[in-house]
Amino acid sequence: MILNLYFENSFGLQGKILVVDVGYHGIWFVDRCHLGVLELRLSTWNRALLAKHVWDIARRRDSMWVHWIYSNNLGSSNFWMVRKNSNWSWVFHKLLDLQSHLRRFLFSQIGDGWDTNAWEDAWLPCGPLSAFISYRFVHSCGFSTLTTVRDLIINWNGNWPDDWCQRFDMLHNSPLPLLTSVRDKVLWGDNYTMCLDFTVGKAWASLEGNHPVIPWSKLVWFSGHIPKHAFCFWLACQRRLPTQDRLHWKDEPPDLECSFCGQCLDSHDHLFFQCSYAGVVWTSVLHMVDLPGMPSRWEQIVQVISDPNSLLKLLKQKLAVAATVYYICQERNRRLFSVTKRTTQDLIAVIRDSISIRADW
């Protein structure tokens, strides 16, 4: 619960996520709004949190730690220019490892121009000037590696010199900004025109990149869903239920068979709903919720629920599909581990009752 709350606060996902699993490589969430599943990889999470420290260094935050970094490690150098030194701490080495990952997301918004390096920081739409202007040329013009944006703008009275514009075409679309009395700001974004104040959530989104949208997510995590049914249905949509065909045996596999019909191994395709027992339940439930057009093969069912104009319009219909998958699984497991058996009529009644809790007929 603490973990859940922490991520909700950090990533602005209030009311949208459900922690599903915490594993070695990352944390799996169900994102109820956009995706079927969201894997919060720990490596991305770590980089997003470390990016906060890099941002503090880049904007020269007035804190004891940043002052210590500048007085002991950086001196008058720019963070993007320094290379590792064996005398520096392990943590600072980790921050330097992120230079190439984070540099393209941090942009300087010029105020008084004091805190921004003219060559290494990104303060123009064309990006850092050092990308296309050599330090040989910089020094030949009388500047140094430590030249600030303020020095540059005052030296040229606010306009690029003609010979620079002729030599570097990119400068035509990057006029020099006006100096003000406020401090320079360092912003985060995917490009110069779309950058905002830094948050760990934005950093995580930028570093993680885009996820494919799962087409069936809205019919699994719809408003009014029953959580345990939805979770089972979500696993089934990904064919991740522990059916017999997915088991791997180190030695000779035991004789396994479907606990309903005993005809073959159970699998997603067999349980939903090629098995004779499951097929009867499925047909009856579809009749009960007025869904005669639904197919009975799992692959086709997933196609139907992935269609934006899906047949499933009513809450009772959405609940019925998830509930049938859930109770077929439940009954299959009960038969594997106990001798009690429910008939198809018993199971249909249970499904009907579970739908009645949430939906009117």
Q: Which residues bind Zn ion (CB under 5 A)?
A: 258, 260-261, 275
Count the alpha carbons within 13 Å of 301 in the hemisphere toward its beta carbon. Answer: 27
Looking at the Cβ atoms of 275 and 321, the one nearer to Zn ion is 275
Looking at the Cβ atoms of 116 and 267, the one nearer to Zn ion is 267
Looking at the Cβ atoms of 29 and 272, the one nearer to Zn ion is 272
For strand 38-41 and strand 185-189, is the pairing parallel, antiparallel, or unpaired? unpaired
**Tokens 């049938």 belong to which residue?**
324
Is 61 in contact with 45 (CB distance < 8 Å)? Answer: no
Is 350 in contact with 342 (CB distance < 8 Å)? Answer: yes
Residue 332 Cβ, how far from Zn ion at the closest point, in Å? 9
Residue 216 Cβ, how far from Zn ion at the closest point, in Å? 24
Residue 344 Cβ, how far from Zn ion at the closest point, in Å? 12
Is 119 in contact with 145 (CB distance < 8 Å)? Answer: yes
**Tokens 């599943």 belong to which residue?**
37
Looking at the Cβ atoms of 121 and 331, the one nearer to Zn ion is 331
Phi, psi of 185 (to 5 degrees): -115, 150
Residue 239 Cβ, how far from Zn ion at the closest point, in Å? 17
Nearest-CA neighbor of 208 among 40, 54, 10, 17? 40
Positive or negative torsion for Cα 129, 135, 136, 142: positive
Residue 343 Cβ, how far from Zn ion at the closest point, in Å? 15
Looking at the Cβ atoms of 11 and 260, the one nearer to Zn ion is 260
